[in-house]
Amino acid sequence: MNFDFSQDEKMIRDQVSKFLDQQSDTKVMRSAVDGDTRYSADVWKGLVDMGLTGTAIPAAYGGVGVGYPALCLIAEQLGAHLTPTPFSSSVYLATEAIIGFGTEAQKETWLPKLANGEIIGTIAIVETVEEVTETSIQASITGDTLTGRKLIVPDGGIADFAVVIAKSPGTMANSSLSLCIADLQHESVTRTPIETIDPSKNSTTIDFQQTPIEILGDQVDGWSAVRRIYDRAAILFAFEQIGGAQSALDMAVEYAKERFAFGRPIGSFQGLKHMMADMYVALKLAESNCYYAAWALATESEELPLAAATARVSATQAFQLCSRDNIQVHGGMGFTWEFDCHLYYRRSNYLTLQLGGLATWEDKLVSSLPDAA
Amino acid sequence: MDFSDTKEEAVFRTEVKNWIGKEAPTYLFKSLSASGFGSTRTGEYDPFEEAKKWQKKKADAGWACIQWPKEFGGRGAGPMDGVIWSQEEGIYSKLSGTFIIGQGMCAPTMMAYATPEQNQRYIPKIASGEEVWCQLFSEPASGSDLAGLKTRAEKDGDEWVINGQKIWTSGAHISDYGILITRTDSEVPKHRGLTMFFLDMKSAGVDIRPIKQANGDSGFNEVYFDNVRIPDAQRLGEVGGGWQVSLTTLMNERLAIGGSIATGFPEIKALVDDLTIAGGRAIDNPAVRSKLADWYAKSAGLKNTSARALTALSKGEVPGPENSIGKLVAGGMMQDIAKFGLDLQGLGGAIVDPAIADGAARLQAMLLRSPAVRIEGGTDQILRNIIAERVLGLPEELRVDKGIAFNKIPSSNS
Ligand SMILES: Cc1cc2nc3c(=O)[nH]c(=O)nc-3n(C[C@H](O)[C@H](O)[C@H](O)COP(=O)(O)OP(=O)(O)OC[C@H]3O[C@@H](n4cnc5c(N)ncnc54)[C@H](O)[C@@H]3O)c2cc1C
């Protein structure tokens, strides 16, 4: 057994961290939240130039192919810096959908362009303000076109194409849902920015009106494919969450050492100390579960669904707790627009919902437990 | 990153499996399986006798305390082999509770501070379970504030004379030896006036009185010292250096308790798998699923955290205070799990008779024993202080006793 990342993987992490320290302090997310931009083109370009978009894409398709553990550590850094780029949508979701389910021809067409950052992808699932189910999807495919509305698509404002789930009556033996690839630049597509708790996620409503599409893969059951894509992406999102949790905790600890009240640093009050100790504990548990999940992802382990749900549940808890109590440690300052506390709070709560909320993942976790646990 | 056994590890595991398959006390398997946290069951057999028998058998074949050096009764094995051993020992490790203090805390302290001759004499018998040890630290007026202890040691020739009282001493009534922390100087600040010894629990003047615990058992004791004489040769560390020595013990205590800690998850999972509530299976109820997911995530988090600590250990890194989280998480979790499990059963959940209660009353035993986990070996509050100060680097609490001579510090009794 060896429960640690390799030296090479850690080196990649350190490079990303150095780049983001210079390029992506929270000012970048702040300008998104302030409404000046919806994402950072500069940071995105930097990530592309470093080859990070091709991290898990096999070399045969133009990627670097260094594997998933490295991608996990990159995700952790992006989360720590609250980086407002379409990285998660394009790399953990759209790219993975094509790697996992695309035909050979589709891989050859799309993956090299995703690897070199020429195009950006996202995934379009949600249609209503209810948690999605297999029977709730209304968007539908007729022949080679797609019609329907996706209510909230993360990074929909910048993506060039989307992997969309839609009904496809009659085409499939065991499911009526398929995945398709839709060009978002097409004239039949209308994109409307939608305000959310985290503006830096660049969310849009997307209307498809007889939009030309290609079906993803060959006879792919759309619903179970999304579940599989989500299971894998949940691990990468969990790494973003622990990255964010660590930053929020660090911010709280720093402030508590410097701010004085009643003639002493507020960090010497036990009420705050114990709160921060609990933040640390939640983070440690989540971090260790993420490590395990990284291994499951890298080895295509049978335990992946359980490991993913476990990492996701504890990382969600950790980031929510750390971002919430970071505000508390800061007192009134914590509730100002000017301080960064709300940026972590916004991001943590958006990330919680992005692949289906906590209850969804708790349910998945329990469904994945072996019978005699 | 790799969770599979290496080739050497796989060979070792097979060797362990074979030995345990042949030698384990299989006649206890059923009772031990029905044992839970706070209720070690051995059926018609005496638990202490069975524990000693299994320990001795392991020791004779070289399977006791396998990470200790060979000359001390161990096997010189690495930390990974230690984990493999305990995974394979499985349910039979429930017999070893009696020895945790001696093997997990007293022996490492002795190895760090006793003479080679003393270690030669005592450590192998701790490994084999032939001699049981206890830890005489806490006193009526000083538990969390351990350095505020009052038991006096006064030098008389080549001996020390001990007077005072210890309390909450687990297993003192079945112990052969103990490590004892005393005050040798009241004129200096409290941490500087302490000295550590080990002593024979049969020494004249030692009076052991069992205390009945809240859960009805009697695992801990009051221990009185009335002019008990200890040779100076049994001093551990410097005169006045007892605090340093105690830190060795306490650090190992957290490792010993934190490493293989029970969380209650298997017990609650077993309950909700079978139980019916409101006409449906309990495990299909969303409220139950939510709790279950939270507890699973926590117990997996602890398991994976100790796997990380082990990896660090096997690379030669020293385990730090972050290991305090094990007991902190598990204690409260067991209390919550027991309470929730009983609640699902309604009034019937109040029954403690193992013949009637679900799961041989393991959750009921857990309910009554788990409050102690949050107290023994550092309370939840003390552990949070440690994490806050030593891991996160937050400022120390205000301490009104700082730098003051021990005999000038205000206390509950003065
Ligand atoms: C089952 C069991 C077995 C034990 N076995 C042994 C043993 O074998 N040997 C041994 O030496 N001892 C043993 N102990 C004793 C144990 O270590 C002490 O009980 C423990 O350290 C707490 O000390 P105390 O009981 O004096 O409580 P106190 O220290 O009086 O604590 C009372 C309350 O005050 C809180 N408190 C105290 N100081 C602070 C602070 N600075 N900040 C915030 N809160 C604080 C505590 O958290 C607690 O809630 C055992 C205890 C139990 C329950």
Per-residue burial over B117-146, b if 16 or more Cβ lie within 10 Å, else e, is ebbeebbbbbbbbebbbbbbbbbeebbeeb
pLDDT of B255 reads: 63
Substitution target from A362, A364, A368, A371 for chain B, most B beta carbons within 10 A: A362
3-state secondary structure of B271: helix
Pick the closest to residue A82 from A355, A343, A349, A354 (CA basis).
Answer: A343
Identify whether A282 is part of a domain: yes
Q: Please tell me the distance in Å from A145's CA to the nearest CA on chain B.
A: 39
Beta bridge partners of B177: B133, B200
Compute the distance from residue B379 Cα to the ligand 1 centre, in Å.
6
- Indicate if A41 and A132 belong to the same structural domain: no
Same domain, A183 and A254: no
pLDDT, averaged across chain B:
93
The predicted-structure confidence for B272-321, as pLDDT tens digits, reads as follows: 999 999 899 999 999 999 999 999 999 999 999 988 888 887 888 777 77
The residue from A118, A134, A164 where one domain ends is A118
Q: Do both A169 and A230 map to the same domain?
A: no
Boundary residue ending a domain (A168, A201, A220): A220
Is residue A2, in this structure, part of any structural domain at all?
Answer: no
Same structural domain, A251 and A364:
yes
| B318 in contact with A, Cβ within 8 Å | no
Whether chain A has a CB inside 8 Å of the CB on B393: the answer is yes
Give percent of chain B above pLDDT 70: 98
Residues B357-368, mean pLDDT to the nearest whole number: 94
Residue with tokens 């002493």: A264
pLDDT of A373: 45
Average pLDDT over residues B371-400: 94
Strand spans (E) along chain A: 121-124, 140-142, 145-153, 161-167, 177-183, 189-193, 204-215, 260-261, 264-265
Catalytic residue check, B44:
no
Which mean pLDDT values do the consecutive 10-residue runs of chain A (373 residues) have? 90 96 83 83 95 97 95 97 95 98 98 97 97 93 96 97 91 74 98 94 97 96 96 98 98 98 97 98 97 95 97 98 98 96 97 97 97 62
| Domains of chain B (ranges, CATH numbers) | 7-128 (1.10.540.10), 133-240 (2.40.110.10), 261-378 (1.20.140.10)
Could you tell me which residues are beta bridge partners of residue A177? A167
Sequence-distant (6+) residues with CB within 8 A of A251 are A326, A340, A341, A344
How many Å lie between the alpha carbon of A359 and the closest alpha carbon of chain B?
7
| Residue B159 DSSP label | E
Which pLDDT belongs to residue A216? 97
Nearest-CA residue for atom 51 of ligand 1: B376
CATH code at position A159: 2.40.110.10
pLDDT of residue B219: 93
Q: Do A363 and A228 belong together in one domain?
A: yes
Picking from A118, A149, A180, the residue at the C-terminal end of a domain is A118
The residues near B304 (Cβ < 8 Å, ≥ 6 apart) are: A3, A288, A289, A291, A292
pLDDT of residue A52: 97
Per-residue pLDDT at A38: 84
Residues of A with CB below 8 A from B33's CB?
none
Residues A153 and A19 in one domain: no
- Same domain as A236, residue A207: no
Same domain, A233 and A309: yes
Element (H, E) at B111: helix B107-113
Kindly state whether residues A164 and A253 are assigned to the same domain. no
DSSP per residue, B215-269: TS---EEEEEEEEEEEEGGGEES-TT-HHHHHHHHHHHHHHHHHHT---SHHHHH
- Output DSSP code: residue B205: T
The maximal CA–CA distance of chain B, rounded, in angstroms, is: 76
- A62-76 pLDDT, tens digit per residue, is 999 999 999 999 999
Residue A3: which of B269, B308, B329 has the nearest Cβ? Answer: B308
Q: Are residues A337 and A356 in the same domain?
A: yes
Contact check, Cβ <8 Å, A314/B304: no
What DSSP state is assigned to residue A90?
I
Domain match, A246 and A363 both:
yes
Indicate whether A247 and A358 sit together in one domain: yes
Number of domains in chain A: 3
The mean-pLDDT minimum among A40-54, B72-86, B121-135, B331-345 falls in B72-86
Relative to beta strand A121-124, strand A161-167 is parallel
Structure pTM?
Answer: 0.95
CATH code for the domain in which residue A359 is found: 1.20.140.10
Please indicate, yes or no, if residue A373 is contained in any of the structural domains. no
Range of the domain at A136: 122-220
Taking contacts as CB-CB distances below 8 angstroms, the residues of chain B near A3 are: 1, 3, 304, 307-308, 310-311
Spatial separation of the C-alpha atoms in residues A266 and A268, rounded to whole Å: 5
A166 strand-pairing partners = A178
